[in-house]
Structure 1
């Protein structure tokens, strides 16, 4: 079963929405430091659309791409409930296309770490470069090895919210740098019983120099790498890095 399938309906309520809410003002701060040529954007791996909707509410033309149709369904429902327009499509982030080039592309919540080969990661960046206007900007965050090895490691995590319980079993392979997380979710139904869903997630962390090289190979110029949610370069023990890269163009 695809990831973020049954999980989609309870994704926000399980607490995951907190990351997106925290990301919104951070992106606004980044845009002050890295201005873009217009108010058109794509949120790549947009999930339930929280970040995309925040830009739409500010008058941006907003596209959202995700591999999970159930997640897109949640984003569509939220857009309808708030009378906002999102242009949503189900696509593979390694081969996505948009109707016209855009000023800003974001890819958030370690979605890039789901690219399990450097070739796949570079292909995402190539698609990003093709979809950006000249002088357009890409912003994407990635988990570091510190997170996958030391924070997640080989552990069991529990999340409990009203009517929702998640059991997450993480495993880290030191040689490959691959982290896998098996999720068992339990959702209370109207009759009081719980239904179960299971998902298998896998992420890999890339050294900074490989990410930088992949961005540059795709034709993007790295403007900054920040410790995520801050505006300073990452320390050695940084858990998440925000990459900012620009497509070369005339800035006049």
Structure 2
């Protein structure tokens, strides 16, 4: 199963599983990097169900969200329509971004970049984003650290149960360096009170901080900030989420 197919059923439960993600903090990071978001044109890359896109739009930004999963985008479009927000959602892989210089900000949030399989795909994504950013535009993104893929993820299996959704999440080392293969069994409570099961397989990969720096520079970006775990502190050997801010 490729990553596009993997999100078919997952789209239906994604929001509940992401409830603890501090999206408001992400909006603050973007606002700080862009000197505010009001009336800024922002491309939300790997937007998923539109949780961040909606918050950016509510803050006055003009938002375009892209994702390779039509099921995710269906949820995002309904969310935006229900809130009467004018957000453009496009179905495409992030490494296929191309076009004219039009955006002030690009964001790749919550380790979406880690679904790319190799350095070439990451570079293609950075090149595409560079091409659609205005001069002076900023890219903000986060990725798993190598410590997280190599150590934390290997501590599975992980479990979750909130009475409506339960899962068993098994992980194993992937074929490539700093990659992880996840096999998830979900159990979702139906109106009848019975649980429906579906299974998914996801693969993620990350790279060392210096490799992301090299790829950003190759794409023409200047690195402005690298920090970790939602704090204004440099990464250390046990950091789990690494953030980058780069300028065109």
**Taking structure 1 as the reference length, what is the TM-score of the superposition?**
0.90
The equivalent residue for 1:112 is 113
**2:10 corresponds to which residue?**
7
Q: CA deviation at 1:12?
A: 0.9
Residues 108-166 of structure 1 show CA distances to partners (whole Å, capped at 9, x for unaligned) of: 11111111211111111011101111100000000011111211115211111232111
Matched length: 244
When the two chains are superposed, the root-mean-square deviation of aligned CA atoms in Å is 1.9
- Asked if the contact 2:27/2:55 (under 8 Å) is kept, the reply is no
How far apart in 1 are the matches of 2:6 and 2:101? 29
Q: How far off its partner does 1:70 sit? A: 0.8
Partner of 2:132: 131
Q: Residue 46 of structure 1 corresponds to which residue in structure 2?
A: 47
- Decide which of 14, 19, 25 is 1:17's aligned counterpart: 19
Q: Secondary structure at the match of 1:94?
A: helix
Gaps of at least 5 residues in structure 2 are none
Distance 1:190 1:30, change over 3 A: closer
Q: Which residue of 2 aligns with 1:35?
A: 35
TM-score (norm 2): 0.92
1:229 pairs with 2:220? no
Question: Is 1:77 aligned with 2:78?
Answer: yes
- CA distance in structure 1 between the partners assigned to 2:163 and 2:209 by the alignment: 39
Within 5 Å, give how 1:86-125 maps onto structure 2: 86-97=87-98, 101-125=102-126
Q: Secondary structure in 2 aligned to 1:231?
A: coil
How far apart, CA to CA, are the structure 2 residues paired with 1:32 and 1:49?
A: 21
Q: Report the equivalent of 2:194.
A: 193
Which SS does the other structure have where 2:139 is aligned? Answer: strand
Secondary structure (helix, strand or coil) at the match of 1:196 reads strand
**Counterparts in 2 of 1:97 and 1:62: CA distance versus 1, 3 Å:** same
Deviation at 1:177, TM superposition (A): 2.1
Superposition pairs of residues 137-148 of structure 1, within 5 angstroms? 137-148=138-149
2:213 is matched with 212
Q: Kindly indicate whether residue 177 of structure 2 is the aligned counterpart of residue 176 of structure 1.
A: yes
2:169/2:185 contact within 8 Å kept? yes
Measure how far apart 1:193 and its partner are.
2.1
Q: Which runs of 5+ in 1 are unaligned?
A: 248-252
Change (3 A) 1:33 1:71: closer
The alignment partner of 1:187 has SS state of strand
2:245 corresponds in structure 1 to: 244
Distance 1:29 1:217 in 2: 24
